[in-house]
Amino acid sequence: MGFNFGHTLITGGAGFIGSHLSEELIKENSKVTVLDNLSTGSKSNLDFCFQKENFRLIVEDLKNENKVRESLKDIDTVFHMAADPEVRTGFLDPKLAYEQNIHNTYQLLENVRKSNIKQFVFASSSVVYGEPEIIPTAETFGPLLPISIYGGTKLACEGLISSYCNNYGIKGTIVRFANIVGSKAKHGVVWDFIQKLRENNRELLVLGNGMQTKSYIHVKDCVSGLLFSAKNTNKKIEVFNLGNYDMTNVLDIASIVCKSMNLENVNIVTSGGTEDGRGWVGDVKEMNLDITKLTNLGWNPSENSQSSIKKAALELYSESI
């Protein structure tokens, strides 16, 4: 497309999605700086990037305002990927979700507005919609009423970003992700199932009733859609859904993971979760994002939900051996 993000800062760039994004931007010949405290990310995720001259890693926390301010020097574009990555933990520790998501985003935005940043790209989530009455759910749906602490913090971040972009002349891109799966993941349903089956390959415990039904997208498609969204942001602030056309349920995912690990006759047990069949408090039972806005611009996922799960299961199982 001939689009150049210039010198790019990726917060959380050593994590699951962030490291894939770092690699792709390096391949596009962008100069990339990653800011990551390595609490959930890993230097090994960036092995490819370390081989390139247009890359550097700053091991630091977003709470360190001086370091954040220093890291923003000469930066043109920020991809804000850093967050508490686990939806479930917000119920147990709301303060952590607030600090990692809302407070750190505020601190970052305060430094961004005092810099020369041209564009701010934010990794949001489908959980900001809560349990919408319309599925597939378009970006224009409202009101947005999240049912998880994580979803609430992501929506609060969206509000902060929108106001800062409007007030301080920054171009803003908000991308609401469906469920992302693929290599380097250290959380999520596919990774969880593989860990459980490595401990006991005769039985697999599924939280909730197993009928939670959502769309899934492979991390490679996620990164391509994220970059496409950022390149096609023409307004002061734009919101894009990033997901898949279809959905699959947790029991189907369990079967796919078992087959990917060449396991037969596994006893799949549904247990725990909440009384109404959710996997945990705040778990959305059904979600499918309407991705028409992106597809009309020319982007499409290369894998559907089930093939994304299959690909991710093979990748993550291979990484676990």
What are the boundaries of each domain within the chain?
7-180+216-242, 182-215+246-289+303-320
Q: Which CATH superfamily is domain 182-215+246-289+303-320 in?
A: UDP-galactose 4-epimerase, domain 1 (3.90.25.10)
Strand ranges in 220-280 using DSSP code E only, listed in sequence order: 237-242, 248-249, 267-271
Q: How far apart are CA 192 and CA 129, in angstroms?
A: 25
Cα 184 from chain centroid? Answer: 13
With tokens 């100069």, the residue in question is: 31
Q: State the chain's mean pLDDT as an integer.
A: 95
Other beta carbons less than 10 A from residue 65's beta carbon: 13
- Residue 1's pLDDT is what? 42
- Residue 9's pLDDT is what? 98
- Residue 40's pLDDT is what? 92
Q: Are 22 and 34 in contact (CB under 8 A)?
A: yes
Q: What is the pLDDT of residues 247-291, one digit of tens each?
A: 999 999 999 999 999 999 999 999 878 888 898 889 999 999 999
Statement: residue 158 has pLDDT above 60: yes
Closest CA to 218 of 291, 302, 289, 298: 302
Closest CA to 11 of 97, 105, 103, 119: 105
Let me know if the fold of 7-180+216-242 is the same as that of 182-215+246-289+303-320.
no
Q: What is the pLDDT of residues 15-39, one digit of tens each?
A: 999 999 999 999 999 999 999 999 9
Closest CA to 288 of 247, 250, 251: 247
Q: Are 290 and 138 in contact (CB under 8 A)?
A: yes
Cβ-count burial 214-240 (b if 16+ within 10 Å, e if not): bbbbbbbbbbbbbbbbbbbbeeebbbb
Closest CA to 110 of 143, 63, 154, 155: 63
- Residue 280's pLDDT is what? 87
The two tokens of residue 33 are 């700086």
3-class SS string, 161-223 = HHHHHHHHCCEEEEEEECEEECCCCCCCHHHHHHHHHHHCCCEEEEECCCCCEECEEEHHHHH
Q: How far apart are CA 158 and CA 2, in angstroms?
A: 28
Q: What is the pLDDT of residues 79-119, one digit of tens each?
A: 999 998 676 767 788 999 999 999 999 999 999 999 999 99
Q: Which CATH class is domain 7-180+216-242?
A: alpha beta
- Residue 52's pLDDT is what? 95
Would you say the C-alpha torsion 182, 53, 113, 90 has a positive or negative sign?
A: positive
Classify residue 126 by its DSSP letter.
G
- Residue 221's pLDDT is what? 98
Q: How far apart are CA 146 and CA 127, in angstroms?
A: 6
pTM of the prediction? 0.96
Strand partners, 78: 9, 120
Proportion of the chain above pLDDT 90, given as a percent: 91
